[in-house]
Amino acid sequence: MAYTTIDDPSVFFQTALYTGNAGTQTITNDGNSDLQPDFLWFKERSVTGNHQLINTVSGINKKLMSNSSNGESTQTNYVTAIGSDTFSIGNNNGLNQDSVTNVCWQWKTGTSFTNDASSTSVGTIDSAGSVNTTAGISIISYTGTGTAGTFAHGLNAVPKMMILKRNDGNGWSWIVYHVSMGNTKRTVLNNTGAAETVDYFQDTSPTSTVFSIKTNGNVNGSGGSYIAYLFAEKQGFSKFGSYVGNNSTNGTFVYTGFKPAFVMAKRTDGGTEGWSIFDNKRSTSGANLIDDFLVPNDNVAEVSQNVCDFVSNGFKFRHVDGKYHNNGGTYMYMAFAENPFVTSESIPATAR
């Protein structure tokens, strides 16, 4: 049985749905978990529109777009406030266009982190940000040195996935490290390419204290400003792995050890397939079926297909599509829980 130290995943991750009103509004998260979001990922569902990524380390008036290589921009009337279980938005059309449906995926970190590498002898590049060691999530900023080095991430656990972006200019890709690809390869969040062998990580796996980077401008250009999202695996809450698709609506089952709330997937072994995100809030067909997905590398509106079932211990595909489930294709994924399969008090999760 899969036990967990996180009985209520909604303390650290939630999906919020809302409809724009062209004015101002405050969105309150579900339940009594008091999730104060530090990483917010917005997407308009019913119309085309960019994916907007905002965090409290860079500042809630700053945004990047996962479907673009553009640098960070300063926005007015975007996210205007973060509360103990809320976020507030202004009248900017990017997040609050009248009558447009939206989704916001949210992660909580919450503990300030800083590392002076020369003083602590941990890593060679100074880093700072916000971390949650219980949930295995950190948001780290650093300045590139142009020399191969390491930076501290604060997780006290080995990261299984890392998404980083140079934010001080245009033309820099979103670089993704994932444990299933190994330390010699990377994918790019803002395009459709397969995993490529590129020495961005010194061919070195991360440790429980530091992450290694080479000298490419996408990850470590001299004087460049960077933001990194790092995720360590926590049993019953998060999972980072891979699966192989088949050619059937009785598709591949992926065991996570929890009932998923969020899954993001990408084909890594070839082709030109984009990324996909599924969650447990946007589906409207009932039961276990998830029938809506969004594409992080594109501004397209929500796509409706009978994608997969979210069940008590994982997810099972019900549709053949190159983006997330095709015969013989290898896919990496990141997943976060709605409920652990079995709580620390031996209470099992059930499907819907």
Residue-level pLDDT at 350? 65
Beta-strand relationship, 25-28 and 52-55: unpaired
Residue-level pLDDT at 34? 84
Among residues of the chain, what percentage have pLDDT more than 70? 95
Report, as an integer, the average pLDDT of 157-180. Answer: 97
Task: Give the tens place of pLDDT for each residue, 270-322.
Answer: 878 999 999 999 976 667 899 999 999 999 999 998 899 999 999 999 999 98
Task: Give the tens place of pLDDT for each residue, 2-44.
Answer: 578 899 999 999 999 999 999 999 999 987 778 999 999 999 9
Query: What is the rounded distance in angstroms from the CA atom of residue 148 to the CA atom of residue 210?
Result: 13
Residue-level pLDDT at 351? 61
Residue-level pLDDT at 146? 97
Q: Which residues contact 297 (CB under 8 A, 6 or more apart)?
A: 66, 67, 189, 190, 191, 192, 274, 275
**Does 214 score more than 70 pLDDT?**
yes
Residue-level pLDDT at 343? 66
Mean pLDDT of the chain: 94
List C-alpha distances in Å: 47 to 52, 79, 97: 14, 20, 10
Read off the pTM: 0.96
Apex CA 134: angle with CA 31 and CA 57, to 5°?
85
List C-alpha distances in Å: 58 to 74, 108, 126, 159, 205: 10, 15, 16, 21, 26
Query: What is the rounded distance in angstroms from the CA atom of residue 244 to the CA atom of residue 326?
Result: 8
The DSSP letter of residue 189 is T
Apex CA 73: angle with CA 70 and CA 74, to 5°?
175
CB environment 205-243: b (16+ within 10 A), e (fewer): ebeebbbbbbbbebbbbeebbbbbbbbbbbbbbbbbbbb
Q: Name which of 257, 236, 233 is nearest 344 in CA terms.
A: 236
**Does 352 score more than 80 pLDDT?**
no
DSSP string covering 205-222: ---SSEEEE-S-HHHH-T
